[in-house]
């Protein structure tokens, strides 16, 4: 090991500090480096897009191949081409969890808080950076899934364009849904802090909860199921925007945004008060 003398020109009161104090922008730059410097994160982001498009492509190709032998009343080419989102949401959710839980799992959180001890800022920077990336990836997934899917729906199958009724609403709504699910997962992980626990909870809410609710009597079930994130997602993909037992797409997304914001606030308060 080489012994180098430290480069301490001036120590103590004489040392020149940068003006002001560290800011949210410094923290965001740091969070960005964290995000892009782990290979698995980049892979997972790519996978969200690729799997989303892939599953959508399979679904549309399948429909196209049976086109002649099936009925097509109320067929919505847009929502068909966005089918892959239901897989993508799991991937982006796992990523949202990992972005936070890995800090705890690896101990990086201690390094982070030793560099930037004001905790609300840590969470805000993380949410901003991951949120931005999640939004871009979600929109890319939604739009590319749509274009690939429509390209596969060759004549005689019906296909949609961006100007088809409700197409843009469905695509953008899907992108927002995916983005919110990612943030929702990040918030869960901030609260739960353990990767396995947070992922199980996330999957439980997304996939298991709707199934469990089916045990309820119908009258009650329909009123409750519409509050689940997955039903909100399904409603976003309906062309009419009028699923019988769901909120309308925008209301649903607002409810989901509400969950995410609420969870984030609770998680943020806990994060600020707990030992790291």
Beta-carbon contacts of 35 under 8 Å, excluding residues fewer than 6 positions away, are 41, 99, 129, 130, 133
Count of CA atoms in the C-beta half-sphere (13 A) of 15: 8
The residue (of 11 and 155) whose beta carbon lies closer to another protein is 11
User: Encoding tokens for residue 203?
Assistant: 């999957």
Binding to another protein by residue 120, rule CB under 8 A?
no
Binding to another protein by residue 66, rule CB under 8 A?
no
Instruction: Tell the residue number behind the tokens 């979600």, with chain if given.
Output: 138
DSSP code of 208? I
In the complex, minimum distance from the CB of residue 132 to another protein, in angstroms, rounded to a whole number: 17
Binding to another protein by residue 128, rule CB under 8 A?
no
In the complex, minimum distance from the CB of residue 232 to another protein, in angstroms, rounded to a whole number: 33
The residue (of 12 and 156) whose beta carbon lies closer to another protein is 12
**Residue 12 CB-density burial (10 A; 0-12 exposed, 13-18 middle, 19+ buried):** exposed
Binding to another protein by residue 39, rule CB under 8 A?
yes
The residue (of 9 and 68) whose beta carbon lies closer to another protein is 9
How many residues in the shown chain lie near another protein by CB under 8 A? 43
Instruction: Tell the residue number behind the tokens 């309906």, with chain if given.
Output: 238
Beta-carbon contacts of 192 under 8 Å, excluding residues fewer than 6 positions away, are 101, 198, 201
Separation in Å, CA 168 to CA 42, 89, 231 = 28, 19, 20
Binding to another protein by residue 102, rule CB under 8 A?
yes
Cα-only R_g, the chain? 22
* Of 62, 65, 72, 118, the one binding another protein by CB under 8 A: 118
* Of 46, 65, 72, 110, the one binding another protein by CB under 8 A: 110
Q: 10 Å Cβ neighbour count for 151?
A: 12
In the complex, minimum distance from the CB of residue 36 to another protein, in angstroms, rounded to a whole number: 9
In the complex, minimum distance from the CB of residue 26 to another protein, in angstroms, rounded to a whole number: 5
Binding to another protein by residue 244, rule CB under 8 A?
no
User: Encoding tokens for residue 120?
Assistant: 């609300």
Binding to another protein by residue 29, rule CB under 8 A?
yes
Do residues 86 and 233 make contact, with C-beta atoms less than 8 angstroms apart? Answer: yes
Residues 8-27 that bind another protein (CB under 8 A): 8, 11-12, 15, 17-18, 20-22, 26-27
* Of 46, 65, 107, 154, the one binding another protein by CB under 8 A: 107
Backbone angles phi, psi at 175, to 5 degrees: -60, -45
Site of interaction with another protein (CB under 8 A): 1-8, 11-12, 15, 17-18, 20-22, 26-27, 29-31, 33-34, 37-40, 102, 106-108, 110-118, 273, 275-276
């Amino acid at each position: 090991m080489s012994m180098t003398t430290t480069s301490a020109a001036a120590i103590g009161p004489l040392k020149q500090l940068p003006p002001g104090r560290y800011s949210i922008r410094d923290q965001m730059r740091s969070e960005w480096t964290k995000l892009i410097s782990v290979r698995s994160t980049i892979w997972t982001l790519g996978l969200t897009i690729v799997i989303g498009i892939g599953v959508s492509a399979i679904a549309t190709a399948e429909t196209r191949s049976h086109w002649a032998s099936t009925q097509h009343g109320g067929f919505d080419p847009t929502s068909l081409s966005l089918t892959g989102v239901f897989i993508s949401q799991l991937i982006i959710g796992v990523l949202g969890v990992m972005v936070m839980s890995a800090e705890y799992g690896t101990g990086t959180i201690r390094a982070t808080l030793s560099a930037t001890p004001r905790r609300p800022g840590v969470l805000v920077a993380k949410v901003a950076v991951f949120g931005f990336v999640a939004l871009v990836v979600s929109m890319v997934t939604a739009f590319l899934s749509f274009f690939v899917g429509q390209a596969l729906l060759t004549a005689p199958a019906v296909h949609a364009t961006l100007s088809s009724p409700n197409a843009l609403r469905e695509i953008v709504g899907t992108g927002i849904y995916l983005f919110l699910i990612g943030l929702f997962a990040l918030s869960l992980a901030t609260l739960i802090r353990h990767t396995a626990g947070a992922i199980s909870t996330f999957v439980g809410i997304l996939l298991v909860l709707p199934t469990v609710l089916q045990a309820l009597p119908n009258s009650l079930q329909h009123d409750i199921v519409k509050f689940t994130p997955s039903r909100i997602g399904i409603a976003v993909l309906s062309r009419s925007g009028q699923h019988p037992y769901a909120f309308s797409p925008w209301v649903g997304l607002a409810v989901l945004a509400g969950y995410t914001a609420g969870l984030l606030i609770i998680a943020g308060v806990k994060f600020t008060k707990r030992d790291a």
